[in-house]
A and B are shown apart, each in its own frame.
Chain A
C-alpha cells in the first residue's frame, strides 16, 4: 500500500482521469440541455480499466516474468480496448482507450434533444463524489509513502 508506483496507484490515476473526463461530458450535457438534436454523451472507463488490469494480471502470471517488466511491455504496446457500445468517438485516457457513447433518453422530445437534466444532475453528483474519493485515496497512499520514507508519522 505504501507504494506510489504500483498497479493500484496507476488504477487510481486512470480512475481520477476518467472521472474528470466524465465530468466534462456531463457538464456539457447540462449546458446543452436545450439544444435541438443534441445527444447526451457519456463515457465508461471502468470496463476498459478492468480489462486492462485482467490482461496485466494474466500476462504477469502466465509469462512468469517479474511484474515490473511485463507492465512496461504492456505500456509500450497500444491497447485498443474499446467498449462495444454505439461509439461516437474514441478517446485516449492515460494510454487507455475508452469510448464516448451516446445515451438515448427515455422520453422523446420534439426537438430531438436526448438530455434528461435530472439524470445528468444525479450523474454529476455521483461522479464528483467518486472523483473526490479517488483523490483522497491517492492522497492517503502518498502520505503513507512519505511516512515510510521519513519514518515520521
Chain B
C-alpha cells in the first residue's frame, strides 16, 4: 500500500469536476442553440451529449512511479489504477429526428413549408444541468473532506 495517498483522491475529484464542467458546457450549448435552424452543415443543430467513462487507461505519473518501483525495488503491492476518476470519452450527437414545424414563411422552410428545428427539449436540458451541478457540488464537498483529512495527519506529533 505504498504509493497511495490522499492526494490521489484530490486528483480523482478534480477529474470529476472537469468532466462535469465539460458536461455543463455542452448542455449550455444545447440550450443556446435550441432554435438554430441552420448550421454550417446545412441542417438544424443536433443535440449533443457527453459520454463518461472511468479513467483507468490513461497513464498517470503515478503509474510510471509504480512501474519503476516494481522493476527496481521489487515492491509488488503497488496500487493499480482502479480509483482514478472519470473522463469524457466522446461527444455524441443525438440521432433522434428533428422536430418539425409547419411554417411556410420561414427562410429555412422546405418545399412543403416545413421547418426542421433542433431535437432539444429545454426541460430535459434543465434537468441534466441540475444533475451536473449537483455532481459538481458533491465533488467539491469530497475535496473539502480530503483536505481536512490530510491536514489532520499533520497534527501527529504536535
Question: Which residues of A line the B interface, CB within 8 A?
Answer: 17, 20-21, 23-28, 30-36, 38, 41, 89, 91-94, 100, 117, 120-121, 124-125, 128, 131-132, 135-136, 138-139, 142
Contacts and interface: CB of A to CB of B under 8 A. Distances in A.
Given A24-B8, A24-B83, A31-B16, A117 B135 contact: yes
30 contacts: A20-B5, A21-B4, A23-B9, A23-B146, A24-B4, A24-B12, A25-B83, A27-B13, A30-B13, A31-B12, A31-B16, A31-B19, A31-B86, A32-B16, A33-B16, A34-B20, A34-B131, A34-B135, A35-B53, A36-B51, A38-B54, A41-B82, A89-B80, A89-B82, A117-B138, A124-B142, A128-B148, A131-B149, A131-B152, A136-B152
Contact of A31 (B15, B80, B153): B15
B149 A27 contact: no
A134 to B, nearest CB: 10
A94 B80 CA distance: 16
B1 A27 contact: no
Contacts of B5: 20
Contacts of B157: 139, 142
B53 A132 contact: no
A142 B156 contact: yes
Contacts of B141: 121, 124
A25 B12 CA distance: 10
A91 B2 CA distance: 12
Contact of A117 (B8, B15, B134): B134
B110 to A, nearest CB: 35
Contacts of B155: 135-136, 139
Given A23-B9, A132-B148, A139-B156, A28 B138 contact: no
B145 interface: yes
Given A30-B138, A31-B85, A41-B83, A36 B148 contact: no
B1 A21 contact: yes
Interface in B49-77: 51-54, 77
Contacts of B54: 28, 32, 35, 38
Contacts of A139: 155-158
A28 B145 contact: no
Contacts of B86: 31-32, 34-35
Interface string B126-156: 0000011011001101100110110011011
A33 B149 contact: no
B91 interface: no
